[in-house]
Structure 1
Amino acid sequence: MPVSRRTLIIGSVAAGAAGATLPGTAASASGGPLRTDPFTLGVASGDPDHDGFVLWTRLAPQPLAEDGLGGMPNRPVAVHWELAADERFRHVVRRGVALARPQAAHSVHVELNGLPPGREFFYRFKADRYVSPVGRTRTAPAPWALGGALAMAFVSCSQYEHGYFTAYGRLAEEEPDLVLHLGDYQYEYTKDTYNIPGGNPRDHEGPETETLANYRQRHAQYKADADLQAAHAAAPWLVVWDDHEVDNNWADEVPENTQPNFLARRAAAFQAYWENMPLRRTSIPRGIDMQLYRRIHWGRLATFHMLDTRQYRSDQGCGDGYKECPAAYDPARSITGAEQEAWLLDGFRRSSARWDVLGQQVFFAQRDNNAGPATVTSQDAWDGYAASRDRITRGWLAAGVRNPIVLTGDVHAHWASDLKLDYADPTSRTVGAELVCSSITSTGDGADSDPTTHPFMAINPHLRFYNNQRGYVSTKIRADRLDADFKVVPYVTTPGAPVHTRASYTVEDRVPGLHQTYLRPLG
């Protein structure tokens, strides 16, 4: 199949998109050659569709430089890129040159289209005499095609100080087709601020992230981790943020604690997030605003509605934490904002996918921690915006969504839940399923336990599974069912842990709710 030559290169936030330039005709960047390897942060790809994706890298020979610029000279640097049909690059199907500019911390976003659907590709970059690691990516199936099974994994909450990113490395070994990161990709704290029992095995560099230089340095420290680099290189990613990419428990323009400089901090965090993620040019930030919610189609098999539950939400009605809060039921309050909610409901109505998947941040199902008549729930999750949750749930029912699935991060533990219209009535019909991934490292090793002993399980019978070890969730999405394996590593405070499946669940086509297919014995 012939390959179209249409290519968009995104060189920097300041410059926007720059045209592709073939080798031999690239505009030269002034200055001498680089003296050390600039590809210390690895490579990544993201936002795949049926004819393309984004390729990413960032040049940083000194990733922990305090100014956040990675030890790069203050000038543009030409970066050659290649896309091939094979890992040895014997069959190169596209190549070009992008300028890595200091205004964007020498990050490069190569936005490709015109490629054949449903294909695996390999990519790499070159700057001066240095060549990057090779990344693996793929296009989605054609819009009209159901396609084969999709191997999709999702992750969240990787606090660098709390442990080693072994789970990312184990995920990379699975070579999935797609990875979703649901938030808390990095944390804002300075060292010795957020500690686990026994002490943190690693430390953050630099102060708490408040300036653009701080956020750039912190992203670079995380990206320099070999296990994280392996996970990025293994498959295309879909990313959305939660709170710690900016500051704990922020809500739109309201920080958790009073900060006169919060909007400047938010803008800096958004800029650094763009620079360090494989995002399309539609997500280039404009000051304190960044378009992050978006929709990705995997043929007719699945549509991923990637949500942003931070940038537009109403402030928490009764503060953070577990509380009985009448404001949670106020229909004027929203966790998505009116515009994003309308976009999501319209997407439900237009969907012809077999599976509609919400990739989002915070717990969706109700989690009441009070065994009495009062309803006491987390005000930072959808429980704090119950009217908003009700509108979304009724929206997918009204639209006749065939198989609604909610994917969640944030809570540093594995959970699985049936979704209800009326959580007060355990016998009410199930209208969907929620899968919640544990953290990669946040809160340290954790511990295994009998899921049925967690007090939430008795109070909330729609909750089906719980585990407090670190890990991720691997899924296989087919036309007739979705299979989910809750993967765990026994420790993260030292490197090299093995991985195993703690439990497995299946959702069958047109049968809302979860069916347990495997539970590993305790111990």
Structure 2
Amino acid sequence: MNLSRRQLLAASTVAGASLAVPGVATAAPNVVRRDRPALPSGIMSGDVTENSAIVWSRTDRRGRLVVDLTSNGRFDRAIRLRGPITGPDDDFTAQLPLKGLRPGQRYDYRIAFEDSWGRRGETLEGAFGTPGRNRGLSFVWTGDTAGQGYGINPEIGGMAAYKAMHQTRPDFFLHSGDNIYADGPIEAELKVADGTVWKNVVTEEVSKVAETLAEYRGRYKYNLLDDNVRALYADVPIVSQWDDHETLNNWYPGEILTDDRYTEKRVDVLAARARKAFLEYLPMVHSAGRNRIYRKVSYGPLLDVFCLDMRTYRGANPTPDTVGPVAMLGAEQAAWLVREAAASKATWKVIASDMPLGLLVPDGPLIEAVANGVSGAPGGREHEIAWVLSQFKRRKVRNTIWLTADVHYAAAHHYDPSRAAYTDFDPFWELVAGPVNAGTFGPNALDSTFGPKVEFVKAADFPSQSPAGGNQFFGHVSIDPRSGVFTASLRNLFGTVLWSQDINPARH
């Protein structure tokens, strides 16, 4: 939906309004009638740039998405935008792209659905801010939601780490993958190794491993039952990636399962259903086609975020002693990353990687991530990453930071060719966060191929520690608009800063 200059002027009376978003999204005053469309899963915005955004919601019956948009919080001056009609084919979800927005502007939006008689149902309000020049920028990132059987526990206030992230008032939230755990049933009670009992809200769709499209969709609906999740998503735009658990653990294309829990053994069939649910339930740009997940999200002169997809194009998980190259990104995505990063004019280039580079992540006797645990020259999936890093050096791509999750603990790694077996790259940081509501593990072994050094680590007190132990982790970044300093911190369930680092930008 393109907004004309006239529409934008009509919707705004305050030029250059603050980027700050409100603390809590609230429902507009209305009476929710059972004969009108409801909003059972809340509202979201996503992939916000200087002049565009996407808004999302879900209703409970066939209806048309209607969005009221204003830039000063006064809905009596809002413009009304009519979006798509949704139905059971999309699980009653709908997204509306917004284009022609102003840089450096706060926007408030109100979402409802109209039924076939034109009657509007329940309404909810949210907000987002577009990045602008001469403005600072902050964001949070993490991964791993509702894993190891840890779902919504009312006794600890639900998914409490989402509240801690919300309280930092970020400009956006980067979810680094494992938005759901489709392969992990959630039961009413879970006995923890420390003798405590974790209690969950449960629904039918999360009671078994997901195989059907309805079961994959049900995982997203489950997470959106949590008040903390819904409040964050209404106030803070999301940038979404996927990893393995959106489908099932450690999967790769072409895999045939031997897991007796599954009646459908073909992973490609399951992955197609999982992808449809992922794209239905998370707002994101599809500029290169509906099914492509990797993309760049630009946040103005300070930051470009390059969201990778390390799942769709990978080869079969190799053995540690595999010498030849094995795909992780795939040739097309790897070339895209190098080309787009080299063309970027932003001060910082965040490489949003759904898996870490230097940590050993095994899949039984095989290798699940990049590192193979063998010191020396690159082997297996390390070849592709070596090529990317070398191309960054040759093309003078400066100020790259790799952000990731996946391993269920927090860490800061600094990579330097002076410590590495493979030396054709410039030094860089990799920062690891998560889980946000799942079992905590770690630490994992570190592979020396690219010369990483552990600068910080905080792991579980025991394997699969519950969120109640406080060892849930997210990262926070702020970028100063004058100096360009990238300040990164790693924080726990309560928002306590455990580690922080100011990283100065290299000048081009």
So what's the TM-score if we normalise by structure 2? 0.78
What are the superposed Cα offsets for residues 110-154 of structure 1, whole Å, 9 maximum, x if unpaired?
11101111211111212345333211112233xxx4x32111111
> Which amino acid counterpart does residue 263 of structure 1 have in structure 2?
D
Q: Aligned pair 1:119/2:105, yes or no? A: yes
Aligned to 1:218: 219
Aligned to 1:379: 367
* Contact 1:5 1:114 (C-alpha < 8 Å) held by counterparts: no
Task: Kindly state the Cα deviation for residue 186 of structure 1 after the two structures are TM-superposed.
Answer: 0.6
Q: Which runs of 5+ in 1 are unaligned?
A: 7-32, 61-71, 319-324, 370-375, 448-453, 490-497, 513-523
Whole-angstrom distance in 2 between the partners of 1:81 and 1:455: 46
* Contact 2:39 2:58 (C-alpha < 8 Å) held by counterparts: yes
Superposed, 1:378-457 pairs within 5 Å as 379-384=367-372, 385-421=381-417, 424=420, 431-443=427-439
Task: Kindly state the Cα deviation for residue 253 of structure 1 after the two structures are TM-superposed.
Answer: 3.0
Whole-angstrom distance in 2 between the partners of 1:368 and 1:296: 28
Aligned to 1:341: 334
Task: Kindly state the Cα deviation for residue 37 of structure 1 after the two structures are TM-superposed.
Answer: 6.4
Alignment RMSD (CA, Å) = 3.2
Whole-angstrom distance in 1 between the partners of 2:88 and 2:300: 38
Whole-angstrom distance in 2 between the partners of 1:392 and 1:420: 15
Report which stretch shifted further, 103-112 or 86-95.
86-95
Task: Kindly state the Cα deviation for residue 95 of structure 1 after the two structures are TM-superposed.
Answer: 2.9
Task: Kindly state the Cα deviation for residue 284 of structure 1 after the two structures are TM-superposed.
Answer: 6.4
Aligned to 1:231: 232
Aligned to 1:166: 160
* Contact 1:418 1:432 (C-alpha < 8 Å) held by counterparts: yes
* Contact 1:367 1:377 (C-alpha < 8 Å) held by counterparts: no
What are the superposed Cα offsets for residues 308-334 of structure 1, whole Å, 9 maximum, x if unpaired?
00000111102xxxxxx121x423x12
Whole-angstrom distance in 2 between the partners of 1:330 and 1:195: 44
What are the superposed Cα offsets for residues 360-414 of structure 1, whole Å, 9 maximum, x if unpaired?
1111135599xxxxxx998212214211121111121111112010000101111
Q: Aligned pair 1:136/2:138, yes or no? A: no
* Contact 1:85 1:91 (C-alpha < 8 Å) held by counterparts: no
* Contact 2:54 2:285 (C-alpha < 8 Å) held by counterparts: yes
**How many residue pairs are counted as aligned between the two chains?**
435
Superposed, 1:452-467 pairs within 5 Å as 462-467=453-458
Whole-angstrom distance in 2 between the partners of 1:510 and 1:267: 42
Q: Which runs of 5+ in 2 are unaligned?
A: 9-32, 114-118, 152-157, 373-380, 460-470
* Contact 1:274 1:284 (C-alpha < 8 Å) held by counterparts: no
* Contact 2:360 2:370 (C-alpha < 8 Å) held by counterparts: no
Q: Aligned pair 1:245/2:246, yes or no? A: yes
Aligned to 1:41: 41
Whole-angstrom distance in 2 between the partners of 1:168 and 1:412: 16
Aligned to 1:21: none
* Contact 2:354 2:405 (C-alpha < 8 Å) held by counterparts: yes
* Contact 1:304 1:358 (C-alpha < 8 Å) held by counterparts: yes
Whole-angstrom distance in 1 between the partners of 2:135 and 2:36: 43
Q: Which has the higher strand share?
A: 1
Task: Kindly state the Cα deviation for residue 359 of structure 1 after the two structures are TM-superposed.
Answer: 0.8
Aligned to 2:377: none
> Which amino acid counterpart does residue 42 of structure 2 have in structure 1?
G
Q: Aligned pair 1:148/2:144, yes or no? A: no
Q: Aligned pair 1:480/2:480, yes or no? A: no
Q: Give the secondary-structure state (helix, strand or coil) at the position aligned to 1:174.
A: coil
Whole-angstrom distance in 2 between the partners of 1:91 and 1:277: 28
> Which amino acid counterpart does residue 456 of structure 2 have in structure 1?
F
> Which amino acid counterpart does residue 182 of structure 1 have in structure 2?
S
Whole-angstrom distance in 2 between the partners of 1:341 and 1:87: 42
* Contact 2:144 2:180 (C-alpha < 8 Å) held by counterparts: yes
* Contact 2:55 2:95 (C-alpha < 8 Å) held by counterparts: yes
* Contact 2:162 2:436 (C-alpha < 8 Å) held by counterparts: yes
Aligned equivalent of 1:275, options 257, 280, 291? 280
Whole-angstrom distance in 1 between the partners of 2:302 and 2:426: 22
Q: Aligned pair 1:84/2:33, yes or no? A: no
* Contact 1:56 1:110 (C-alpha < 8 Å) held by counterparts: yes
Task: Kindly state the Cα deviation for residue 203 of structure 1 after the two structures are TM-superposed.
Answer: 5.5
* Contact 1:249 1:255 (C-alpha < 8 Å) held by counterparts: no
Task: Kindly state the Cα deviation for residue 268 of structure 1 after the two structures are TM-superposed.
Answer: 1.0
What are the superposed Cα offsets for residues 25-54 of structure 1, whole Å, 9 maximum, x if unpaired?
xxxxxxxx8537621211101111221110
Q: Give the secondary-structure state (helix, strand or coil) at the position aligned to 2:124.
A: coil
Task: Kindly state the Cα deviation for residue 295 of structure 1 after the two structures are TM-superposed.
Answer: 0.8
* Contact 1:295 1:304 (C-alpha < 8 Å) held by counterparts: yes
Task: Kindly state the Cα deviation for residue 210 of structure 1 after the two structures are TM-superposed.
Answer: 0.6
> Which amino acid counterpart does residue 431 of structure 1 have in structure 2?
P
1:115/1:461 CA distance change after superposition, 3 Å: closer
Report which stretch shifted further, 263-272 or 308-317.
263-272
Whole-angstrom distance in 2 between the partners of 1:301 and 1:461: 26
Whole-angstrom distance in 1 between the partners of 2:411 and 2:185: 30
Q: Aligned pair 1:101/2:106, yes or no? A: no
Q: Give the secondary-structure state (helix, strand or coil) at the position aligned to 1:462.
A: strand
> Which amino acid counterpart does residue 488 of structure 2 have in structure 1?
A
* Contact 1:43 1:132 (C-alpha < 8 Å) held by counterparts: no
Aligned to 2:464: none
* Contact 1:190 1:204 (C-alpha < 8 Å) held by counterparts: no
* Contact 2:163 2:228 (C-alpha < 8 Å) held by counterparts: yes
1:139/1:358 CA distance change after superposition, 3 Å: same
* Contact 2:256 2:266 (C-alpha < 8 Å) held by counterparts: no
1:350/1:284 CA distance change after superposition, 3 Å: closer
Whole-angstrom distance in 1 between the partners of 2:50 and 2:366: 39
1:255/1:87 CA distance change after superposition, 3 Å: farther
Whole-angstrom distance in 2 between the partners of 1:247 and 1:433: 29
